[in-house]
Amino acid sequence: MCLGIPGQIVEMVDGDANLAKVDVAGVRRNVNIGLVADEGVGVGDFVLIHVGFAMAKIDEVEARLALEGLQRMGQAYADEMQAVRESGIS
């Protein structure tokens, strides 16, 4: 749960509910972007996601480093991705 996982915003889903679709290592799910809205995030931007919420805007290099770091974690990464896959935020 403490793992932050990087994702790229691919679509704005619902402006009122602050929902955006992100691509996390090839899996596309909705997350809430309300906490980074002030930073002016849009399609194409990378964000660090914790439990379904974008917590910080990051650049592409950091996104890649963070994902590689997580992938080296093995089981913890597999569990996190499994949880992301089962998520259905709406």
- Give the x/- contact pattern for another protein in 70-89, rule: CB under 8 A: --xx-xx--x---xx-xxxx
Nearer to another protein, 11 or 14 (CB): 14
Longest dimension (CA), the chain: 37
| Opening angle at CA 11, ends 9 and 13, nearest 5 | 120
Q: How far is the CB of 39 from another protein (least distance, A)?
A: 9
The yes or no reply on residue 48 touching another protein (CB under 8 A) is yes
Phi, psi of 56 (to 5 degrees): -155, 145
The yes or no reply on residue 67 touching another protein (CB under 8 A) is no
The yes or no reply on residue 51 touching another protein (CB under 8 A) is yes
Q: How far is the CB of 12 from another protein (least distance, A)?
A: 17
CA end-to-end distance (rounded Å), the chain: 20
